[in-house]
Amino acid sequence: MSRQLVWQSVSLILFVTVWEFGNASRILAVFPSASVSHQVVFRGLTLALRERGHELVVVTPDPVRDPNLKNYTEIDVSYIYDPNIKLDLIELRRKMNWAEWICTVADGFHVVSEQIFDHSEFKKIYELGSGERFDLLLMETLYFPAFLSLAKRFDVPIIGMTSLSPALNLQYSIGNPILSTHQSIWDLQRNEMSDPPTFFERLRNFINVWKYIYYFNTEFMPAQHAIAEKYLGIEIPDLGEIERNLSLIFINQQAPISYPRPNVPTVVEIGNFHVSKKSEPISKDLQKTLDESKQGFIYMSLGSNVKSTMLDKKSRSEFIAAFSKLPYTVIWKFEDEFLPGKPDNVIIIKWAPQQAILAHPNLKAFVYQGGLQSTEEAISHGVPVIGFPVMADQDMNVNKMVSLGVGKKLEITDVKRDDLIEAIQSVATDGSYKQKMLNLRELLNDRPHDLLENAIWWTEHVIRHRGASHLHSSTADEPWYQRQDMDIIFVVTAVSLIASTLSLIIAYHLLSYSINAFSHHQLPVKKKKKM
């Protein structure tokens, strides 16, 4: 082979490589939430971007810890999982809605932000004079806006990312319409509303929505801004302004399993990033148990943040009583070695290979807390659900499953054995639940493009164009009272009331004058007495 032919072959290979991967970029990814259910979603995208040839530095409390991964540096902040903090999320549900809780524990978010900024390896990345260069900031946009400041530090565009549908504060920042009583506003969902909601229910939600947005922008954001300036050592723009100018926001909100709502163009739908395409490993004993459950089995898990050990004694006894009367084996993810009063048909395991269990053909129903990632897994494996929502978006997710006819909803703070038995028997024996779940899976899979590939394309689009200002909605820049013409409605209403009031006053005076004039005209004339 001639040198010229060799050179042409090498050039062709290099050209194809560049064509395939584009110019490899450096991406800084910051995902602060101490929740593995959040992190598995983010990890799906970051690992895929690495496969595309990009280099990533990832700040996460749940690192992959794979030394074979090249161009993938992880900054482990797992210490933000504080074992001394024992949050009883079920008890919290009894007392307040999610937005109220965020306001109550705001200091905890500020502490976590400082803990992450204070990480020695992370400091080497962001400190002035570090020599680090990035092309994109990819970050979780939930309750840690201090890290938006890194875009100013490295002069890069930002793509926000959420593992659930956007919180109220993010909806407001990106310019989405604020629909205070819409089913998609999960931040306030605790008390059930009428269908349709009454005037006073709508008024209550309206007040609570704007009260929360006001708090977040006037108290929470400034506190996070002070943290960012403290650690970066530079003056940064208002964090709200940075967030309003996000290039894109990836939201884990697939339309068929969400309540459709209007979104600005910067919103890109993602989903199923964490769902395994191949079965997880499963122990021989558990496999044998599932295989031998000829009548079927029930799987119960309250997820990674809510634990079955949080159930009070009364609720636990109701679950036990209900399970004992079922003709099925029950696999219960229970985070303790011992369950007092455990029936013979109940098997407790501290950790469960959830997707492998959901994939088993003998599974009849999934009793769960309504988390979005668990919901996606249940749909992917065609398993109907019984939901006991506890926090955040879980009420919304379970309400949607019920509306689609693929599950039932029960209340975790008031567990009743008879209701649980009825729900499980209905879902397990009525084939319509299973069939509707299979139809829902087919609907989710029937789309013009793969969601992960689409997210990669949009990520590289933002990198290529140094942002996506062409998608920015001017509604994000408008003050709250202009977004839905509140000022116009107020002025028109005020003018109408004033005009109506003046008209009534004038009419009243004219009527009074007319009555008085008419009465005076009709007075009888007294005749003079004859002398």
Tokens standing for residue 182: 């819409």
Residue 521: the pLDDT is: 67
CATH number of 284-429: 3.40.50.2000
* pLDDT of 10: 47
Q: What are phi and psi of 184, to 5 degrees?
A: -80, -10
Confidence of residue 158 (pLDDT cuts 50, 70, 90): very high
**Confidence category of residue 18, pLDDT binned at 50, 70, 90:** very low
Average pLDDT over residues 479-485: 84
Task: Give dist(CA 112, CA 387) in Å, integer.
Answer: 31
399-416 pLDDT tens trace = 999 999 999 999 999 999
Indicate if the pLDDT at residue 359 is higher than 90.
yes
Across residues 151-166, what is the average pLDDT?
A: 96
Mean pLDDT over 425-435 rounds to: 95
Residues of 88-103 as b/e, b for ≥16 C-beta within 10 angstroms? ebbebbeeebbbbbbe
The per-residue pLDDT for range 188-218, each reduced to its tens digit, is 876 567 778 889 988 999 999 999 999 999 9
Q: What is the mean pLDDT of residues 84-110?
A: 87
DSSP, res 234:
S
Distance CA 166, CA 185 (A): 9
Per-residue tokens: 193? 């509303």
Task: Provide the pLDDT for residue 317.
Answer: 95
- Token digits for 277? 């395409």
Supply the pLDDT for residue 32: 96
Residue 21 pLDDT: 45
- Domain 23-274+450-481 belongs in CATH node 3.90.550.10: no
Fold agreement (23-274+450-481, 284-429):
yes
Residue in 375, 379, 420 with CA at minimum distance from that of residue 396? 375
Domain residue ranges of the chain, discontinuous segments joined by +: 23-274+450-481, 284-429
Q: Whole-prediction pTM value?
A: 0.87
Low-confidence winner among 266-270, 458-462, 489-493 (lowest mean pLDDT): 489-493
Is residue 13 pLDDT above 70, yes or no?
no
What is the pLDDT, as a whole number, of residue 16? 45
Q: How do residues 100-154 score in pLDDT, each as one tens digit?
A: 999 999 999 999 999 999 999 999 999 998 999 999 999 999 999 999 999 999 9
Report the alpha-carbon angle 246-248-249, nearest 5.
Answer: 95
Q: What is the pLDDT of residue 6?
A: 47
241-297 pLDDT, tens digit each: 999 999 999 999 899 999 999 999 999 999 999 998 777 788 899 999 999 998 999
pLDDT for 23:
67
- Mean of pLDDT over the chain: 90
3-state secondary structure 457-505: HHHHHHHHCCCCHHHCCHHHHCCHHHHCCHHHHHHHHHHHHHHHHHHHH
Q: Which of the residue ranges 151-155, 269-273, 315-319, 524-528 would you say has the lowest mean pLDDT?
A: 524-528
Residue 8 is predicted with a pLDDT of: 54
From start to end of 238-354, where are the E strands? 248-252, 267-270, 297-301, 329-333, 346-349
Query: Under a CB-based contact definition with an 8 Å cutoff, are residues 216 and 239 in contact?
Result: no
Q: What distance in Å separates the CA atoms of residue 305 and residue 355, rounded to the nearest whole number?
A: 17
Q: What is the pLDDT of residue 503?
A: 93
487 vs 225, more confident: 225
Q: Residue 506: what pLDDT? A: 93
Residue 293 tokens, joined:
């459950």
| Pair type for strands 26-30 and 407-409 | unpaired
> Is residue 14 over pLDDT 60?
no
